[in-house]
Structure 1
């Protein structure tokens, strides 16, 4: 079906999903969940247009991973959908949530086969248990469990969403606006991931890859007189500090780049631009905490880090152990898996002339293993 756009909603905050990883970024093999679900549906609809609504902070990291149209989501599911609809110019639109990860091709075929039956086509499941509502038992035959994807006429859905009332699915908005709805059989395999316990019941989800990824970071800062020196997260006894937008902790900056490199999440300038006054003179340990949180949200666990400080002055040896004990907790690893080394340039170059310090860092990460906790 070529006159169709698929909208995938992936802008939620996963507030009920109790892991450090955002639900959208759980790894299925190597793919984050949002990409796995999109590609899985795309296989059954090769000619479909695709629009993904995502959290604004995540879009720069999603775009290198696919060629799909990605738009900024809103504060609610409905606002995310409205934002995505601005990119739709087909007569029909199919909407689903990334959390609905195991949509069967047969379910999609049923929706498309019924596209002319009503303004919106909805997969539903019957309820087999007794249902009590506000103290009264009601006929369970009249109760349906609504699923996604839902297929709608684009113009009808757009008009239905011109309201301040928040609906939890598209069909409710369409019906409230006077449109028609047709039910088709749903699929118990298309269960929605809401809690971590839901993952084990979804047979289509394979465990994350066990691969380990390594990244490198390198940074240099010149000296600045009458400024405190902070290096590796600790205060150094020195008559000079570092010339920088932040506190200039060149060791942490190189470490951040190594971590981002291992996770393929860009570089320190992408996360913390030096044009942003929010980072003026900031403690670089705060930047490291935010970087580690970002890695965790995107499905990574830090395995190991190695830092080499290249300095003619000051002397680093007295501080190496304190640096390890300071930085390791910020990485959520034991100090035994964080190494700090120091060397000089034998008085060669700007480092040898005692004009600044250079740091090289390496870090390794792996995917969060949601399968085994």
Structure 2
């Protein structure tokens, strides 16, 4: 049994990363960065316990992708770390950030080799340039760039964080608490991925796969008197609308399921549960907008959409082009990659009896190509 737990912090908002994709969801081959980095370190620590800290909104999606222990992050790095430490039972804990993507195994070896030398073992790099602080030149030999991962005695780290003071790394908290810190040689390959310009320097990152992914969705809603009918984002002239928690736009609901299916990100009920009052009577165009935003943040780009509306009534043919234009804007796609079809059931079944409408949707997505912009 290992005496070590690895905590990977991946709950940030990537506010300085100026691309549509959140940094932790950049695709490395097929793997999101958080999964790639965790497995990369885990390969060298095969017996360690693994805890990954995710943004609260992303916890269910992290759990769908791995068997690691996934913990809900806090508003700050330190709060996220404190949340994770509640689940650590080993005497030692190694903490790293998802932004340090290319950690070399030799750095991990050095950390472990010195684990008994202090309360916190810290990789650090010296500076080769002149350093000026507050308009005065200082001795650069006294300045270090602190890196992660850092290896700490769990008990000491937990007690060091029992404070409202915020620290940017574990060693600073431990030293402020009165603990000891031991520096080892850092590694330039462990530099952080902070801005898009940093990607080129991280040689371990391979481009995303060029594979195309396709999903399908199906939804059906009965009619309801006294409601406006909205279908494909367009208001339809009809004496009835749809019975639903939201506005009942069955076409957009099926399309959302198709998009989530293509990305393997669950279904519309997972993203927008009908038990949540926030979605009561909501415009389904807003749901689709949020779905597409989430796809972008998780590293996907929508490639195409095809919708088949199955309705005996009302007649859809005169609205199809308007639907295509609405969906084009919401999906960030040209009209040439959006198709809307309509058919009937030849008076068979509940649709044929004019009791409701069903929709089948198909959509394709691919990974965001961070390598070529």
TM-score normalised by the chain length of structure 2: 0.99
Q: What are the superposed Cα offsets for residues 302-323 of structure 1, whole Å, 9 maximum, x if unpaired? A: 0000000000111100000000
Kindly indicate whether residue 59 of structure 2 is the aligned counterpart of residue 44 of structure 1. Answer: no
**Residue equivalent to 2:104:** 104
**Residue equivalent to 1:31:** 31
Q: What are the superposed Cα offsets for residues 138-164 of structure 1, whole Å, 9 maximum, x if unpaired? A: 000000000000000000001100111
Kindly indicate whether residue 238 of structure 2 is the aligned counterpart of residue 241 of structure 1. Answer: no
Q: What are the superposed Cα offsets for residues 110-144 of structure 1, whole Å, 9 maximum, x if unpaired? A: 00000011000000001000000000000000000
Report how far residue 208 of structure 1 moved.
Answer: 0.4
C-alpha separation in 1, matches of 2:326 and 2:67: 41
C-alpha separation in 2, matches of 1:126 and 1:270: 48
C-alpha separation in 1, matches of 2:61 and 2:104: 28
C-alpha separation in 1, matches of 2:87 and 2:347: 59
Report how far residue 293 of structure 1 moved.
Answer: 0.6
**Residue equivalent to 1:303:** 303
Q: What are the superposed Cα offsets for residues 236-284 of structure 1, whole Å, 9 maximum, x if unpaired? A: 0111111111110000000000000000010001111111111111110
Q: What are the superposed Cα offsets for residues 171-213 of structure 1, whole Å, 9 maximum, x if unpaired? A: 0000000000000000001110000000111000000000100
C-alpha separation in 2, matches of 1:237 and 1:210: 43
Q: How does 1:25-174 map to 2 (within 5 A)?
A: 25-174=25-174
Q: What are the superposed Cα offsets for residues 213-251 of structure 1, whole Å, 9 maximum, x if unpaired? A: 000000000111121100000010111111111110000
Q: What are the superposed Cα offsets for residues 90-120 of structure 1, whole Å, 9 maximum, x if unpaired? A: 0000000000000000000000000011000
Q: What are the superposed Cα offsets for residues 72-92 of structure 1, whole Å, 9 maximum, x if unpaired? A: 110000000000000100000
C-alpha separation in 2, matches of 1:8 and 1:290: 27
C-alpha separation in 2, matches of 1:8 and 1:62: 12
Report how far residue 64 of structure 1 moved.
Answer: 1.8
Q: What are the superposed Cα offsets for residues 331-350 of structure 1, whole Å, 9 maximum, x if unpaired? A: 01111100000000111111
Q: Which runs of 5+ in 2 are unaligned?
A: none
Number of aligned residue pairs: 373
Q: How does 1:1-373 map to 2 (within 5 A)?
A: 2-373=2-373
C-alpha separation in 2, matches of 1:2 and 1:244: 52
C-alpha separation in 2, matches of 1:287 and 1:65: 23
C-alpha separation in 2, matches of 1:64 and 1:280: 27
User: Which stretch shows the higher mean deviation, 62-71 or 129-138?
Assistant: 62-71
The 3-state SS of whatever aligns with 1:121 is: strand
C-alpha separation in 2, matches of 1:281 and 1:78: 39
The 3-state SS of whatever aligns with 2:189 is: coil
C-alpha separation in 1, matches of 2:288 and 2:67: 30
C-alpha separation in 2, matches of 1:72 and 1:279: 23
C-alpha separation in 2, matches of 1:66 and 1:249: 33
Report how far residue 56 of structure 1 moved.
Answer: 1.0
The 3-state SS of whatever aligns with 1:89 is: coil
C-alpha separation in 2, matches of 1:10 and 1:217: 31
The 3-state SS of whatever aligns with 2:261 is: helix
Q: 4+ residue stretches of structure 1 with deviation over 4 A?
A: none
Report how far residue 60 of structure 1 moved.
Answer: 0.5
TM-score normalised by the chain length of structure 1: 0.99
Report how far residue 372 of structure 1 moved.
Answer: 0.5
